[in-house]
């Protein structure tokens, strides 16, 4: 039980550190809200000091056991694209992973309210994805939007640089046999080290 608790604390610490690598201003930033194992994961998104045009949005990479979106909870005015690899947004920089077995989910603003601009921070609502995964993992997100233009008119901002950071996602449950072999190897190594240093 203690080892499970320690592993959970470690994972939480990793997620906290990775999420602390925040994106710059002039960006759409998704944030983890909640995860219900085997059911759904919910995010919200903010627009910080920028403009949002039709087609701007964000991609969350590698959603395992993706089951679609919760149309009741997901924010109004967005279209959703799901694909195994890549994103319909601008080409990102180097990604840590992009698993073909998981799903990249992209939300793009459909422009129904016209171009949106804020000099501060604007809450864009909740985005809920359905998933059969029972574990949390960590992967990347990417976003694009347009720059805020002080004194200008809404909709005339230049395209902002692509932003990337890390976020909690529904994870992959490893094969039970492989996990048992790996765990056995780790325990064996710990046992050898314990005997070696315990008798020293």
DSSP of 49-85? EEEE-TT-EEEEEEETTEEEE-TTTSPTTEEEEEESS
* Angle, CA 128 vertex, CA 126 and CA 129 arms, to 5°: 155
**Is residue 84 within 8 Å of 103, Cβ to Cβ?**
yes
* pTM of structure: 0.75
Q: How many CA atoms lie within 13 A of 50 on its CB side?
A: 27
Q: pLDDT-based confidence at 4, cuts 50/70/90?
A: very low
Range 62-75 average pLDDT: 93
**Is residue 88 within 8 Å of 81, Cβ to Cβ?**
yes
User: Token pair of 78, please?
Assistant: 């967005």
Longest dimension (CA), the chain: 75
Lowest-confidence range among 70-74, 127-131, 150-154, 196-200?
Answer: 196-200
Lowest-confidence range among 32-36, 39-43, 95-99?
Answer: 95-99
Q: pLDDT-based confidence at 44, cuts 50/70/90?
A: very high
Q: pLDDT-based confidence at 8, cuts 50/70/90?
A: very low
Range 110-125 average pLDDT: 92
Cα–Cα dist 103/98, whole Å: 9
Which parts of the chain fold into alpha helices (H)?
Answer: 2-19, 176-198
Dihedral-angle region of residue 182 (phi above 0 means left; psi in -120 to 50 means alpha; beta otherwise): alpha
Lowest-confidence range among 10-24, 101-115, 135-149, 170-184?
Answer: 10-24
Range 53-81 average pLDDT: 94
**Is residue 28 within 8 Å of 50, Cβ to Cβ?**
yes
């Amino acid at each position: 039980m203690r080892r499970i608790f320690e592993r959970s604390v470690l994972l939480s610490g990793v997620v906290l550190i990775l999420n602390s690598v925040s994106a710059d201003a002039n960006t759409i930033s998704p944030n983890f809200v909640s995860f219900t194992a085997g059911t759904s994961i919910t995010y919200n998104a903010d627009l910080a000091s920028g403009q949002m045009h039709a087609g701007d949005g964000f991609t969350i990479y590698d959603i395992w056991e993706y089951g679609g979106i919760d149309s009741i909870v997901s924010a109004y005015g967005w279209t959703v694209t799901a694909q195994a690899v890549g994103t319909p947004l601008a080409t990102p920089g180097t990604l840590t992973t992009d698993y073909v077995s998981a799903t990249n989910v992209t939300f793009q603003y459909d422009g129904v309210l016209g171009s949106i601009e804020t000099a501060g921070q604007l809450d864009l609502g909740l985005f809920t994805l359905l998933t059969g995964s029972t574990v949390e993992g960590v992967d990347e997100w990417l976003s694009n939007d347009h720059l805020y233009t002080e004194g200008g008119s809404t909709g005339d901002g230049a395209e902002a640089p692509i932003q990337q950071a890390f976020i909690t996602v529904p994870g992959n449950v490893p094969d039970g046999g492989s996990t048992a072999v790996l765990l056995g190897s780790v325990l064996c190594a710990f046992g050898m080290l314990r005997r070696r240093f315990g008798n020293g």
